[in-house]
Amino acid sequence: MQNTHFLRDYKALRIIFILIFTLFSLNSYSHSGASHEDEEVNIYSGRKGKLIEPMLKKFESDTGIKVNLITAKSDALIKRMESEGESSPADVFITVDVGRLDRAKRMGLLQSINSFGVINKVSSKYIDKDRQWIGISKRIRTVVVSKNMKDKADLKNFEDLANDQWKNRICVRSSNNIYNQSLVASLISNHGEKKAEKLVKNLVGNFARKPSGNDRAQITAVSKGECDIAIVNHYYYILMLNSKEPEKRMAAENTEVIFLNQENWGAHVNISGVGIAKYSKNVDSANELIKYMLEKESQEWYARTNNEYPVVEGVKVSEILSGWGEIKVDELSLNKLGDLNPDAVKLLDRVGWQ
């Protein structure tokens, strides 16, 4: 009789454990079947809607989590989150450049990402040391040169741009642009502030004109012969190469990309990235979205659509990027760019980079 009671109790306990395990498993998200019909995620994005909306719609379809998207200039969104404070509806902040992500972090607008399902997908090189942001794609800031430039073989490192050889031959946008601030921060990281200041001062002395316009304007200036070299993010060149506007296509076709510092620490790299808002009311959904953006399928779509490099290893890139081959990038400086941004801004002011 005792054995009968023991077996009955054992079976009952076994059933209870199975039920508990099943409930736990259902709460553990897998976007291949989980349902979150009553959940939502509110996104503040500094990236244009057309660059991320198809992915967000697929996320919404796959998970049942409703996506609410607000797009604007990144700095405006940072100010908005600051002014909204605890009442902010933002769950996720998407932007470009470590400098902006770190600015939001320093202002106390982000929180740590504690989901192992997110953190384990990416190398620590692309994650903030306090886990308050994570990269979702990579972009290389390098140079585009005229195809007619006869001495382009002399240009191997970014530091070479400080040489007298390039006097009055360089075009670049203004110093208040975050891309240039991060570029200078990387020089400080690699050379120390004193040497970096000397390099940047000499670089400014080689400008062909007062800095103005966006990266595409610099490529156009090279095409028109206003300068021989433009400092740009690589994907702007591809955007122009694939443009439906003949003038932009021709400007890109008259130029070519050179990736610098391939024999030392690698080309300057930055990211587009994402963080969870400090006062997010939907942290679980925010984590699910970030994890989804780091899935192989999403990374391939992102790389193909934006012609940026994926942060997840083993993901296919676009045909053009593949044709450029393996590019060595300076990953070691990436996590320092935000910390060094204030120093970079002061240095830019001192050397007269307008």
Q: Indicate whether 308 belongs to any domain.
A: yes
Pair (107, 55) in one structural domain? yes
Q: How far apart are CA 18 and CA 320, in angstroms?
A: 51
Q: How far apart are CA 351 and CA 95, in angstroms?
A: 28
The pLDDT of residue 335: 84
255: closest CA among 243, 244, 268, 240?
Answer: 240
Q: Indicate whether 327 belongs to any domain.
A: no
Pair (187, 309) in one structural domain? no
Q: Indicate whether 14 belongs to any domain.
A: no
Q: How far apart are CA 239 and CA 318, in angstroms?
A: 12
C-alpha of 271 from chain center: 2
* 217-257 pLDDT, tens digit each: 999 999 999 999 999 999 999 999 999 999 999 999 999 99
Pair (296, 228) in one structural domain? no
The pLDDT of residue 232: 97
Residue partners of 183: CB distance under 8 A and separation at least 6 = 141, 158, 231, 268
309: closest CA among 230, 234, 220, 213?
Answer: 234
Pair (90, 207) in one structural domain? no
Diameter over CA atoms, the chain: 99
Counts of helices then strands in the chain (DSSP H, E): 14, 9
Average pLDDT for the chain: 90
Q: Indicate whether 264 belongs to any domain.
A: yes
Please give the average per-residue pLDDT across 133-145, as a whole number: 96
Pair (276, 315) in one structural domain? yes
Pair (107, 193) in one structural domain? no
β-strand pairing of 92-96 with 268-277? antiparallel
- The CB-based long-range contact list for 119-124 (8 Å cut-off, 24+ gap) reads 121/291, 121/294, 121/312, 122/294, 122/311, 122/312, 123/311, 123/313, 123/331
CATH number assigned to the domain comprising residue 74: 3.40.190.10
* 80-105 pLDDT, tens digit each: 999 999 999 999 999 999 999 999 99
Count of other CB atoms within 10 angstroms of residue 274: 25
The pLDDT of residue 37: 60
Is residue 294 within 8 A of residue 135, CB to CB? The reply is no
227: closest CA among 254, 246, 250?
Answer: 254
> How many structural domains is the chain composed of?
2
pTM: 0.85
The pLDDT of residue 305: 87
38 vs 62, higher pLDDT: 62
Range of the domain at 177: 139-268+334-351
Q: Indicate whether 143 belongs to any domain.
A: yes
Pair (143, 250) in one structural domain? yes
Q: 3-class DSSP state for residue 79?
A: helix
